[in-house]
Structure 1
Amino acid sequence: MKTAIITGATSGIGKATAELLSQKGFRMILCGRRTEVLEQIKTQLSSVTEVYTLNFDQRHLHEVENAFSSLPDSWKNIDVLVNNAGNAHGLEPLSDGNTEDWDAMIDGNVKGLLYVSKCVIPGMKERNSGHIVNISSVAARQTYANGVVYCASKKAVDVISDGMRLELTEFGIKVTNIQPGLVETDFSKVRFKGDEERANAVYQGYKALQPEDIADAISYCINAPKHVAISDLTIYPSVQSEPRTVYKNL
């Protein structure tokens, strides 16, 4: 049985992916900051597959290293890594930006992805097999005003994915970079710091992508035949033509 590890597994895309891959026969290592929610999901999925949880904040290297060091030997052979955890904070121009928000995005979206990957990649290289899926964003394709740091952090994910592919293909490791458009998750609630009315308004007047849509894409990529590697995949809701343009009430 293959083992998949998912960061940011307590909600949204991460949770939907954990549910789907469990049904597909993967053992799951679920990572997140909210211990209580991790345990709830573990209880839910344990009726389907084996589940192990790791509680850490990937923005902090020592937490990441301690978490991976704690894995029992029977869980250390990781076949699939889904780097899903990330965040967006604030929607202001650079001149008014909160530097703590900048740190949160760069530390979580870029450095945290690197920290987790560094713990997983050596084992994949030793076994000459594995698959890494990095969740980027269409924000990496087109920078928009008032979201410059977030866009930059996701552009970094694209570049890291390219670099991983250059370094890891010879070891039989596939790397997939996925750029979702608007997905209806807690993303906007986090960006707007808990303002639910403002967050909910983002998804009104059209059908956004659902977490399950991205989970389906991830499942397709990691279950493709051995000779098939999906390098980059951009997914929009049907009413979105580019990062800044959504046609509502169609």
Structure 2
Amino acid sequence: MLEAIRDRMHSLVEEDYKEFSQKLIPDEKHVLGIRLPALRKLAKEIVKEDFRTYLQEALDELGEDSFHEEIMLAGLVIGAAKMEREERRSYLDRFVPHIRNWAVCDSSVNGYKFMEKEPDYWFSYLLEFKNSKEEFELRYMIVSMMSHFVDETHIDEILSLCNEIRHEGYYTKMGVAWTIQVCYVKFPEKTRSLIENSAMDDFTHNKAIQKIRESYRVSPEEKAYLNSLKRK
């Protein structure tokens, strides 16, 4: 089945888009050049077929030489297919270590609406990554939380995690900064307090403030005050 899927993927390749993709993910060496809507459509087709056979074969084959789009497709199918949570978790356990750029992380996570249906289970699952040393495992955790758990129940723990994460990876830091922006829009007082007492590194602290100030949902007065909290 996997070879048939690969043939279908190659039929979707656009050389011009390949160049565009490589500019967005400059550290990615293996890019075919397939647009995300086309990958999402293919994922939906696989879900209607034998997605379990596809996932078993695809996850077995993933490695350093896998194309960006092959990893992306597996992540999309895991999110779109209907299955019990333990089965989905088993696929995620195999998939997450293969995430190696922000695009695979964020595009996959965005579709993981299943997390919102069983929040206690999936938030606990995400917390298992908090001590990871891997840049994209940490980004996967915090962007998943940002996408599905910024609510009254989880806001305090999410902000605490943002303050505690320590990793030199650029994409981890940007994921934290982005999460703080989303938290600020929904819970400004709690998030402002975090920034005022921040233990984050200077880059993440300042980037979080920058991203909040870029939001049209934050008043000019708030933006001016937050700007005074930036570190030199």
Range into which the TM-score falls when normalised by the shorter chain? 0.3 to 0.5
Q: Which has the higher strand share?
A: 1
Instruction: Give TM-score, length-normalised by structure 1.
Output: 0.34
Q: Which has the higher helix share?
A: 2
Mark the structure with the bigger radius of gyration: 2
The answer to which structure, 1 or 2, has the higher relative contact order (CA under 8 A, 6+ apart) is: 1
